[in-house]
Structure 1
Amino acid sequence: MAPRSAFETCQLLRDNIAKVVLGKDDLIDLLIVATMAGEHVLLEDVPGVGKTLAAKALANSLNAKFTRLQFTPDLLPSDITGSMIYRSATGEFDFSPGPIFANVILADEINRAPPRTQSALLEAMSEGQVSVDGVTHRLPEPFIVIATQNPFEYQGTYMLPESQLDRFLLRTSVGYPAREMERMVLQSHQSGEPVDKLESVLSADDITAAQQAVGEVRFDDSLTAYLLDIVEATRRHEGFQVGVSTRGALSFYRGCQALAVLRGRDYVVPDDLKKLAVPTLAHRVLPEGIFQGGSRSVIEQQLADLIESIPVPV
């Protein structure tokens, strides 16, 4: 049997997630883009709209290890990374891996953990490793963090630092479903939680192979220039204190390659950049006079207007 193409991998994953995440095609596509790009996702929305469901559906679709981390103010770095345990039988200390050693991590209510704990997660997200007592331990591949947070509740929370936000490929929301889709959701839950019955359709090796194929997607020089025009415009825009970083530009580039694969192409087109620009870049800019946690819609609209003003290559 011929090996499965990266496009076929994406479609298989997409169809499986869609069995339980109903009426959220854009959300599913963005989750797959992040998975294919080997990067992380921040789901920012009110409780009860399906953030955890989407993360579990992705994890259950893969024959890979899944961990849910419930972030709380008393969560310690060792609760995530693991720690050194004394073994009385040998008289030595051995490393006991923490829950971060998994392929898909659901970091629920990520902004409830204190900065010290956030720094432990930051190393894992940026380097694919954790350090305990001066020893570095590599994390399994693929490694994907899907974090959630409630944008309207600030009591007992900590603002995510810009350095950590920059590690998320994209930030998106789930939103309320349409009435007909909500009716289907109610009916599908009559006999239990559908996501718990969702079977895996891909292995970790399938995802790794697809991620390698993403890196081979052609990015025309004119589109590279267009991407840089967008990034540089955020740095010059009078409404932004801080523009998109070079890391953000790299993530944007990689995300567009992954979206092209999802669409069945081996080359990027301008619509890929326009589709991903806001979810990929809006959390990387800092507007003038608006502190983090300000109006997300205002930031996204400013960015969308900016992008529309930049000429698209023909």
Structure 2
Amino acid sequence: MLTEKTLQQLLDKLPRLKQEIQKVIVGQEAVLDEVLVALLAGGHCLLEGVPGLAKTLLVRTLSQALHLSFRRIQFTPDLMPTDIIGTEVLEEDHATGKRFFKFNKGPLFANIILADEINRTPPKTQSALLEAMQEFEVTYAGQTYALDRPFFILATQNPIEQSGTYPLPEAQLDRFLLYVKIGYPSEQEETAILTNTTGTHKAQVMPVLDANDIRQLQQLVREVTIDTDLVNYVSKLVRATRPDTTHIDYIKEWVRWGAGPRAGQALILTAKAFSLLHGRYAVTMSDIAAMAYPVLRHRILMNFRAEAEGIHPDKVTAVLLKEIERTTTRLS
């Protein structure tokens, strides 16, 4: 049980963590918050953005600000499951002359994994990553190996140049706690980026949190309180995404499949983490609204008509937040 002093010292490190990352990353405040929320909630994060928006730099800087092991895996069409899990090699005991197989761990055995361009590797390798994400362990030759904890996967994908890619299936997308989209910086931010990255000065990022701190924070997230009315609100919000059970005509018109119960779990857990990240110990409606977009955008499947009309899941989420709030005025 953490003492009040130890707890406060731990929470004071969160603003410092953001400050260290922002020495390198200019702007992208919402993106940074969402990545940190995924880490605090104990889930994994999918980052999407066009080339040159510092996706890889963000993950690398995060690893520098955390006293954790870090590995980067560049996903390619010829990458095999053993390339990320590891493989057995034949070794010899020089004392006895006996030969034996030894498992050499792959790059997946680290605390933070950057899975770069995950949609460029075949489904067989993507599936190998799936077990690690869900079970926090991998299996090779019938033997199960536990992964280091905390274990945090940040996968990136490029929304353009789709030739030769293998889009993640819906079931695998659902394993990611958050789906974070990175947009272009503002004019002021882009000017700052150009100034900071074309000179001789190089920012030094200092580690703020270690593995034990992260584990304690992940446990603390689950202790953040949430009102029963807000839990009911999340349930109504998620159920309203399903065309066969919703009362909202907009959903029936544009959505083919809605979100499952895992979306509700993710929304509550990330809202708790978002609240803690901002120094609060109870979830509010604004926390839920903030996390609804990255939680639902990969769990709502649009129909063909919606895709043709350019109607995307974020638009559906915006409609849901307005419609459901009208029917739950006592929560506002």
Q: TM-score, normalised by structure 1?
A: 0.94
User: Counterpart of 2:293?
Assistant: 278
Distance (Å, rounded) in 1 between the aligned partners of 2:32 and 2:174: 21
* Corresponding residue to 2:213 among 199, 206, 223: 206
Distance (Å, rounded) in 2 between the aligned partners of 1:19 and 1:94: 42
Distance (Å, rounded) in 2 between the aligned partners of 1:222 and 1:187: 48
Distance (Å, rounded) in 2 between the aligned partners of 1:15 and 1:296: 37
Q: Which has the larger radius of gyration?
A: 2
User: Counterpart of 1:253?
Assistant: 268
User: Counterpart of 2:47?
Assistant: 43
Deviation of the 1:282 alpha carbon: 1.1
Decide whether aligned partners of structure 1 residues 110 and 88 sit closer, same or farther in structure 2, where only a CA change above 3 A counts.
same
Q: Does the alignment pair 1:134 with 2:137?
A: no
Decide whether aligned partners of structure 1 residues 255 and 193 sit closer, same or farther in structure 2, where only a CA change above 3 A counts.
farther
User: Counterpart of 1:66?
Assistant: 70
Distance (Å, rounded) in 1 between the aligned partners of 2:202 and 2:125: 33
User: Counterpart of 1:308?
Assistant: 322
**Structure 1: gaps spanning 5 or more residues:** none
Distance (Å, rounded) in 2 between the aligned partners of 1:168 and 1:295: 27
SS at match of 1:136: strand
The sequence identity of aligned pairs, in percent, is 40
- Size of the aligned set, in residue pairs, is 312
Distance (Å, rounded) in 2 between the aligned partners of 1:295 and 1:55: 34
Q: Does the alignment pair 1:22 with 2:26?
A: yes
SS at match of 2:241: helix
User: Counterpart of 1:217?
Assistant: 224
**Which amino acid letter does the alignment assign opposite residue 58 of structure 1?**
L
Decide whether aligned partners of structure 1 residues 61 and 234 sit closer, same or farther in structure 2, where only a CA change above 3 A counts.
same
**The 10-residue stretch of structure 1 (154-163 or 3-12) with the greater mean CA deviation from structure 2:** 3-12
Deviation of the 1:265 alpha carbon: 1.0
User: Counterpart of 2:281?
Assistant: 266
* Corresponding residue to 1:3 among 2, 6, 26: 6
Decide whether aligned partners of structure 1 residues 171 and 244 sit closer, same or farther in structure 2, where only a CA change above 3 A counts.
same
**Which amino acid letter does the alignment assign opposite residue 3 of structure 1?**
T
**The 10-residue stretch of structure 1 (82-91 or 205-214) with the greater mean CA deviation from structure 2:** 82-91
Distance (Å, rounded) in 1 between the aligned partners of 2:102 and 2:228: 51
Alignment of 1:102-141 (within 5 A): 102-141=110-149
Deviation of the 1:192 alpha carbon: 5.8
* Aligned 8 A contact 2:115 2:153 in 1: yes
Distance (Å, rounded) in 2 between the aligned partners of 1:283 and 1:125: 16
SS at match of 1:21: coil
**Which amino acid letter does the alignment assign opposite residue 48 of structure 1?**
G
SS at match of 1:3: helix
* Aligned 8 A contact 2:179 2:294 in 1: yes
Distance (Å, rounded) in 1 between the aligned partners of 2:309 and 2:130: 25
Task: Provide, for residues 91-134 of structure 1, a one-character-per-residue CA deviation record: whole Å limited to 9, x for no partner.
Answer: 11111110000111111100001000000000111111111111
Decide whether aligned partners of structure 1 residues 290 and 170 sit closer, same or farther in structure 2, where only a CA change above 3 A counts.
farther
Alignment of 1:129-168 (within 5 A): 129-168=137-176
Q: Does the alignment pair 1:233 with 2:237?
A: no
**The 10-residue stretch of structure 1 (134-143 or 221-230) with the greater mean CA deviation from structure 2:** 134-143
Decide whether aligned partners of structure 1 residues 138 and 194 sit closer, same or farther in structure 2, where only a CA change above 3 A counts.
farther
Distance (Å, rounded) in 2 between the aligned partners of 1:123 and 1:230: 29
* Corresponding residue to 2:37 among 29, 33, 46: 33
